[in-house]
Every structure is written in structure tokens, then in C-alpha cells.
């Protein structure tokens, strides 16, 4: 599936953990069951078409901060082999020392080999996963996230960073703050995403979002270990190109 509109797929994040970021395209999220997510619609089953798109975006990388984040609306395992080799060449050319990938829990056992491969090239791989909330019942019965443990420590054994989803019906200031503090206790960084209206049956709750902005956001806004995306395009990727 190719997007009807061209998305901005390269950006530079200038705050906190400064880095370049690229939104690549893969074969599509292998889980594809999260009830709140339609990012998986950004996919194509044709590896050659994906590589053509991905190569163009990776060619924009300059090595400005020697850190590069790879996002592909799924997991790194869904990127084609040519794209992975292109990422490697770009990292070596521009002296990228830290490389970030996203990954679903179901592919956690593929991470060690990824780290080992890039470590041999002098590149530290860090991985990020969408936990959304540490309330296991809410996460698995309502969001259908597909994480088979209720132990944050076990999740952190595979992943360096976690993403949280806030602004959902049923969340409170206490539950949101508890999730953030749990994330900070077990992971090196936390990325908070505020739920946006999309094509899924899960809707954002305006009252919960307002509570977040008033009571939670001021606490963590300046925390160097916390990224807050009030809009899902706040990193500069995902927007329609002008």
C-alpha cells in the first residue's frame, strides 16, 4: 500500500536527545492488532519500492549529532535487507555512533543479533517499544498490545526506551503519572504520545488530555529523559510535505 499523499520522512530533533530521524517504509507491522493504531497502513509489500523510498530518505542523513533514529511504523524486522544494508553504510559514512530502532515485543528475541551485528561496526543500537501503559489488564484487554508479561523489568531487559500512550478514556492523572514514573524507573528514556483521532475505534478523551496538559505536562516538560508528543508529528516526521 502506498500513501496517497507524500509524507515528510526526514527531520532533525533539536531538543533533549538531539538526533536525526527518518520515517522509513517496510512490509507492514507483523502484529497489526493494536486497537488504537493505524500507523501500519504505511507499508508496501514490494521490497524494491520500499527500498527506493527508504534510500532517498537515508541519503538526507548528515551525521549532524552522530545519532540516528529509524522509524518504520512497525519493527525493524519488517525492513527489507537492502534498506538495512543502506542504514549500515549511512552510519559508517557519517560516523553515526548511536542507532535507534523500534520493535514490537513479539520480535524481542531478534534484538540481540541486531545489537551484535552493529556493535561489531562500532555502532551502539538502542531499541524502543510501545508499552502504552503498564496497567496490563487495560493494555491487553482494551488496547490489544500483545505484550505477554506484566513485569516492566522484563520488558526493559530487551528494550532501552518505551513509548506511553496517554489521553485515553479511563486514564487519570494518577494512572498517567504512575506509568511515567514506572517507565523512568526501568528505561533510559520515555516517549509520551497523546492519543490522536485516527481511523481506529479508539478515541482520545478531551478531558483526560486536558488533565494531562494541566497536571502532568508541567512536571515532565523539561525532563531530559522524557519526550512529549502532544501531536504525533511533533518530531517533524509524518506531516504531509508542502
Cell of 120: 561489531
Helix axes 47-58 and 81-93, enclosed angle (nearest 10): 10
The DSSP 8-state label assigned to residue 193 in this structure reads E
Identify whether 234 is part of a domain. Answer: no
Q: How many CB atoms within 10 Å of residue 10?
A: 18
| Residues in contact with 44: Cβ distance below 8 Å, sequence separation at least 6, in sequence order | 1, 2, 25, 27, 28, 50
Identify whether 1 is part of a domain. Answer: no
Identify whether 235 is part of a domain. Answer: no
Residues 71-130: pLDDT tens digits?
A: 999 999 999 999 999 999 999 999 999 999 999 999 999 999 999 999 999 999 999 999
- d(CA 212, CA 226) in angstroms, rounded, equals 14
Range of the structural domain that residue 204 is part of:
10-229
Cell of 20: 536525526
Residues 12-66: pLDDT tens digits?
A: 999 999 999 999 999 999 999 999 999 989 999 999 999 999 999 999 999 999 9
Q: What is the CATH number of the domain that holds 90?
A: 3.20.20.70
- d(CA 194, CA 208) in angstroms, rounded, equals 10
Identify whether 160 is part of a domain. Answer: yes
Identify whether 33 is part of a domain. Answer: yes
Identify whether 14 is part of a domain. Answer: yes
The answer to whether residue 1 scores a pLDDT higher than 50 is: no
The total domain count for the chain is 1
Q: What is the pTM of this model?
A: 0.95
DSSP 3-state of 145: coil
Is the Cα torsion angle 223, 228, 230, 231 positive or negative in sign?
Answer: positive
Identify whether 241 is part of a domain. Answer: no
For cell 509489500, the residue is 45
Consecutive H or E run containing 154: helix 152-156
Amino acid at each position: 500500500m502506498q500513501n496517497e499523499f507524500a509524507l515528510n520522512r526526514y527531520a532533525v530533533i533539536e531538543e533533549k536527545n538531539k538526533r536525526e530521524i527518518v520515517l522509513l517504509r517496510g512490509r507492514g507491522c507483523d502484529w497489526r492488532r493494536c486497537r488504537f493504531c493505524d500507523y501500519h497502513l504505511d507499508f508496501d509489500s514490494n521490497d524494491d519500492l520500499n527500498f527506493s523510498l527508504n534510500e532517498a530518505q537515508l541519503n538526507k542523513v548528515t551525521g549532524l549529532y552522530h545519532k540516528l533514529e529509524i522509524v518504520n511504523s512497525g519493527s525493524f524486522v519488517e525492513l527489507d535487507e537492502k534498506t538495512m544494508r543502506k542504514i549500515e553504510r549511512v552510519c559508517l559514512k557519517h560516523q553515526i555512533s548511536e542507532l535507534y530502532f523500534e520493535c514490537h515485543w513479539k520480535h524481542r528475541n531478534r534484538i540481540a543479533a541486531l545489537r551484535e551485528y552493529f556493535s561489531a561496526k562500532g555502532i551502539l543500537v538502542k531499541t524502543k517499544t510501545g508499552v502504552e501503559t503498564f496497567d496490563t489488564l487495560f493494555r491487553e484487554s482494551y488496547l490489544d498490545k500483545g505484550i505477554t508479561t506484566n513485569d516492566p523489568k522484563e520488558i526493559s531487559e530487551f528494550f532501552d526506551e518505551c513509548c506511553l500512550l496517554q489521553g485515553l478514556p479511563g486514564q487519570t492523572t494518577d494512572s498517567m503519572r504512575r506509568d511515567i514514573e514506572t517507565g523512568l524507573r526501568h528505561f533510559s528514556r520515555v516517549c509520551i504520545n497523546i492519543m490522536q483521532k485516527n481511523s481506529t475505534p479508539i478515541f482520545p478523551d478531551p478531558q483526560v488530555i486536558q488533565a494531562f496538559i494541566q497536571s502532568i505536562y508541567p512536571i515532565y516538560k523539561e525532563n531530559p529523559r522524557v519526550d512529549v508528543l502532544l501531536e504525533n508529528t511533533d518530531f517533524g516526521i509524518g506531516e504531509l510535505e508542502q
